[in-house]
Structure 1
Amino acid sequence: MRYSYHMHSCHSDGTDTPEQLINLAQIYGIDAVALTDHDTVDGVEAFMTAAAGTNIETIPGVEISSRIGQKHVHILGYGIDIKNTALLELLDDLTAKATEYTKYTFEIYIAQKYGYSWEQVLNHNRKRKGFYLSDVFSAMLKDGLFSGWEQYPGFVDYCFKFVEQEYSAPIENSLDVIKKSGGKVFLAHPKLMKLSLDEELIIFKQMKDLGLDGIEAYYPEHSPKECNWYELCCEKLDLKVSGGTDWHGKARLKAPLYFVGNVHVV
């Protein structure tokens, strides 16, 4: 089967609408997809509605900015109730912090360098609730400061030289709201934690004790050997295996659209 249980839409830092994601799934014969926008479920209803009447398995999801100790991690929630009050309260708080981070980064490192204003960013994003670097870049692209999305990775690298994402929820909170909303909890892209194998296994065990259901073993930046390692960890710890391409549309041009394999998250 063809699947991707890790996709982003324009409701966070992707460039495709939820409807466009379903259209892509139809065009490329993808069997199962999950919308996992950063710290928001605002696009999920449109995503599910667009898939109605198709043979595509669609899963309501979210990717929550979290931390365990001092380590920042991303937690994927699958099969969630997108109207759960506790979940929405946490996501709204994180979205507000994401906007604060984006505006701070813009005002300190971008505005003067490019001769651009926050009001110009807002002119292209009047209906947005949360703002990400992709929204800043998209506005500047429309106003001619960049020539194409292939320049976006360099723009992000420039910003991250000065300030990295610091906002996050304690992992206990993230797991709690996902569980209370009826969802399953998976750790996203474990390689990006930049830990040794021994350290990874220790933190996986800690997360399992807190209620982790699975690990995203298949990810574009995981080598085949690393995928096998994460599958082995899941086997050792009795966790489920997931996989996702982290699709962001034009904001991540080199990402594949889907994987092939027998992987199920719910």
Structure 2
Amino acid sequence: MEIEILLPLIFLFVALFYSSVGFGGGSSYLAIMSIFLTDFYEIRSTALLLNITVVTIGTMMYVRHRVFDWKLFWPFIIPSIPLAYLGAQMKLSEKTFFLILGSLLILSSLSMITKYVEDRVKMRDFELWKRLGLGGLVGFFAGISGIGGGIYLSPVLNMMNWQNARKIASLASVFILVNSLSGLLGLLAVNTFTFDSQLTIRLIIAVFIGGMIGSYLSNKKFNTKIIGLLTAALVMYVGLRLLLLHGCGIKI
């Protein structure tokens, strides 16, 4: 099967899985494209465009269903935007980039698994400075790794029992959107934004369809536990593959 057909099909299902739990899928887009494409900057730029497509749908859905809450979300979002911009401007080697991404994905996968297997306890809020610091830190790593960062932020907030799962998913969606846009501007600022227009259009259409389905399931209060565990397994595989491939030269 040709790449023009295979990649959009794969990405449709990736977008469906990720959007159902408030994510954009950027981590998996990066890893999958690294198998088929050779231009490192093209891979990074395309992943951000796809992320923006998926989470724009999710954000609109959450706003429409009144799950989005700016008063709760702004301390995470505001500091993350400039730091994502700065992180995206860091010119890392391809090997360093994928080693950082792989490590962060494994940690995220473990956090996601913990989220779905543990019993929920009483929700609690925490101090403003902690929210500001966490948002800024995650935003910076999001910029470095070329994704929106929701996959890092959401598991942490779930483990800390901050708000309910749908509220956290809506925050993750908005967080990914603003930081993907900020990261995109960072790439433009250092002239590393590049993509194949024909392939990218096909991929955008695919993730748009997948994102619509996943966001619909999420906002209909569909039980996403199984999808979440499958997503965690996918994230773990992607992280391990990146570490083994770029750290040890082993393909799995």
Q: What TM-score range do you get, normalising by the shorter chain?
A: under 0.3
Tell me the TM-score normalised to structure 1 length: 0.26
Determine which structure has the larger strand proportion and give its number: 1
Larger gyration radius, structure 1 or structure 2: 1
Tell me the TM-score normalised to structure 2 length: 0.27
